[in-house]
Structure 1
Amino acid sequence: MQEVLLLVKTIRSDIQTLQTKLDKFVKTHSQQLKEEWITKEEVMSILNISPRKLQTMRDNGTLPFSQIDGKMYYRASDVENLLKHNYSRR
């Protein structure tokens, strides 16, 4: 009986350790996604919009961007925030 109780305690401890490691991993992964930069093609695919609509969103400041050598980059977190901001439960 003592062996079974010891085994249960060991398993609980292992589960708690795994849960702690998993929580840290999820937070780290989530932080990396928020700092990830994506291309205009990815943004258009995610939002299902045309190149012209994306241009309009850049022009009116709806979606911030970075440009290097004519290529546009967007933060994944900005696209996510745009989606959250425009979320409707209707």
Structure 2
Amino acid sequence: MQLELITREDLKAFKEELLAEIRQHIGTGQPQHRQWLKSSEVRKLLNISPGTLQNLRINGTLRYTKIGGMMYYRLEDINRMLEGGEQ
């Protein structure tokens, strides 16, 4: 069994590739005028489970607005979260 080490540079490169791919999907999958996404759209966009999205809401990582039982997320907040910026 060969031991492989992952460096910070490896993680940084992976992050940049992932962000580029997500931005590409956002650009092609969502009209530019849309500012708000439903939970199902966010899960599909980020390829995450409902539980993971719930955890992002609970711990304050991703802000949301609840209207009539539906939760909506600002595309700007999703991008900010992916970039690691403050809410």
Q: TM-score range by the shorter chain?
A: 0.5 to 0.7
What does 1:35-46 align with in structure 2 at a 5 Å threshold? 36-46=35-45
**Paired positions, count:** 55
Q: Which runs of 4+ in 1 moved over 4 A?
A: none
- Computing the radius of gyration from Cα coordinates, the structure with the larger value is 1
Percentage identity across paired residues of the two chains: 43
C-alpha RMSD of the superposition: 2.0
The gaps in structure 1 that reach 5 residues or longer are: 1-29
> Residue 85 of structure 1: SS of its match in structure 2?
coil
In the TM superposition, residue 45 of structure 1 has moved relative to its aligned partner by 1.0
- Which residue of 2 is the match for residue 71 of structure 1? 70
What does 1:47-62 align with in structure 2 at a 5 Å threshold? 47-62=46-61
The one-letter code of the counterpart of 2:73 is Y
TM-score by structure 2 length? 0.57
The gaps in structure 2 that reach 5 residues or longer are: 1-31
TM-score by structure 1 length? 0.55
